[in-house]
Amino acid sequence: NKQEQSLNYLTEGMRLAKQGGYLEQLLPGYIDLARIQNQQGDLEGVQGTIHKARRMAKKYGDPPTVVSFIDAIEADMALQRGALLIVESWLYSRKKSSPNFSNLFSQYEQITLARAIGAKGDYSTMSELMRPLWEIALRQGRVKDAISCEVVIAKSLFLSGEPLPALTIL
C-alpha cells in the first residue's frame, strides 16, 4: 500500500529495461504502471501508458502476441473501472481462437477474458477458463499466480450459487 514508493521503483526498473531494450520486461511494467494509475483514477495516465506500450510494440514489428497482450491490458483496466462497453468491444474484436497458454502474455489475456466473461454473468465459463491457467501456474511453481487463479475460481463458484466449493478453495 505504498503506491508512491512502488511507482518510483517501477519507473526506475522500466527506465533500466528500456536502456536494455527488453520488451519482455517492459510489458509487465506497463501493466503494473497502468494498474497504479487506474487505482489512482488517472485515466489519462492509463491511456498514455497503453499508448507507450503500443509504440514500443511497433518498434518490434507489432508481434501478434504482444498486440493481443496490450489489448488485454486496455480491457483489464476498463473492466476494473467498470467501463463495460470497452470490455464488450474487446470481447467482440478479439480473435476467436483456441486458448494459448504458451507464455505469460497469452495467459494474462486468458485471465482477462475469464474475468470479462464473469462480468457478463457467465460464471461457469469463467471457471472453465481459469482452471488450465491454475494448473499451469502450479506446474511452473508460480504460487502467487496460482492463488490469484484460485480466488477467481472461488468467486465464479460463489457467484454461480456454489458457496461451499468456493469456501473449500479459499
CA triple 86-84-162, angle to 5 deg? 140
Please give the average per-residue pLDDT across 44-51, as a whole number: 93
3-37: pLDDT as tens digits: 888 889 998 988 888 888 777 778 888 888 988 88
What is the grid cell recorded at 106?
497469452
Give the model's pLDDT for residue 99.
63
Please choose, from the candidates 158, 147, 69, 151, the residue with its C-alpha nearest in 3D space to the C-alpha of residue 113: 69
Whether 44 has a pLDDT exceeding 90, the answer reads yes
Virtual CA dihedral for 142, 16, 47, 8, nearest 10 degrees? Answer: 80
Rama region for 42: left / alpha / beta (φ>0; ψ in -120 to 50; rest) = beta
Query: Taking the model in full, what pTM does it have?
Result: 0.81
54-102: pLDDT as tens digits: 998 898 888 888 888 899 999 999 998 889 899 999 998 886 666 666 7
The residue behind cell 454461480 is 160
127-150: pLDDT as tens digits: 898 999 999 989 999 898 899 899
Give the model's pLDDT for residue 3.
80
Residue type, 151: V
115-130: pLDDT as tens digits: 999 998 999 899 898 9
